[in-house]
């Protein structure tokens, strides 16, 4: 074996290792972002029975830098979105919350600053807040079932 063969095998091994590390970083980042935005639906399911329902005003809407899009249950594109919301709690005190969720890309226009959405929130400090999916549509349902 000559030094050029050893060098070639070493560079090939480094290239494969770099590709594997890059794939792990990309997949890991996507899974992490997906879990950050997907957890809101689970929170809504928990708050649905015992949380307080109210209407909130959208103060701001932001998208993550990677513009994450995933397939929804109905084969629609769902966009990762962070909503900054303002609402009044049971005592009338103005509260603000940031809610990370997925919204059907066809419905994003309904979630601009100044629009109202229905939310459900806890009485905790700070309150847990989720979009009330019983009253605010985040995904267009499939009509071919």
- Checking if the pLDDT of 132 tops 90, the result is yes
The H or E element containing residue 123 is none
Q: What is the pLDDT of residues 91-131, one digit of tens each?
A: 889 999 999 999 998 999 999 999 999 999 998 878 899 99
Cβ atoms 85, 56 nearer than 8 A:
yes
Q: Which two tokens stand for residue 103?
A: 């919204």
Q: What is the pLDDT of residues 42-80, one digit of tens each?
A: 888 889 988 999 999 999 999 877 666 666 666 578 888
Q: Which two tokens stand for residue 90?
A: 């049971």
Kind of pairing, strands 77-88 and 52-62? antiparallel
pTM of the model: 0.70
Detail the DSSP E strand segments found in 4-144: 52-62, 69-71, 77-88, 94-104, 116-121, 129-131
Q: Which two tokens stand for residue 129?
A: 């807040």
């Amino acid at each position: 074996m000559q030094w050029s063969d050893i060098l070639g095998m070493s560079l090939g091994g480094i290239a494969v290792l770099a590709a594997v590390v890059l794939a792990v970083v990309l997949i890991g980042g996507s899974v992490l972002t997906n879990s950050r935005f997907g957890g809101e639906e689970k929170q809504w399911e928990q708050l649905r029975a015992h949380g307080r329902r109210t209407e909130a005003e959208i103060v701001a809407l932001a998208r993550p830098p990677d513009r994450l899009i995933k397939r929804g249950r109905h084969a629609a594109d769902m966009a990762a979105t962070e909503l900054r919301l303002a609402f009044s709690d049971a005592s009338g005190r103005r509260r603000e919350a940031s809610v990370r969720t997925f919204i059907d890309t066809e419905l994003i226009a309904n979630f601009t600053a100044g629009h109202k959405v229905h939310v459900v929130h806890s009485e905790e400090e700070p309150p847990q807040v989720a979009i009330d999916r019983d009253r605010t549509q985040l995904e267009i349902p499939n009509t071919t079932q």
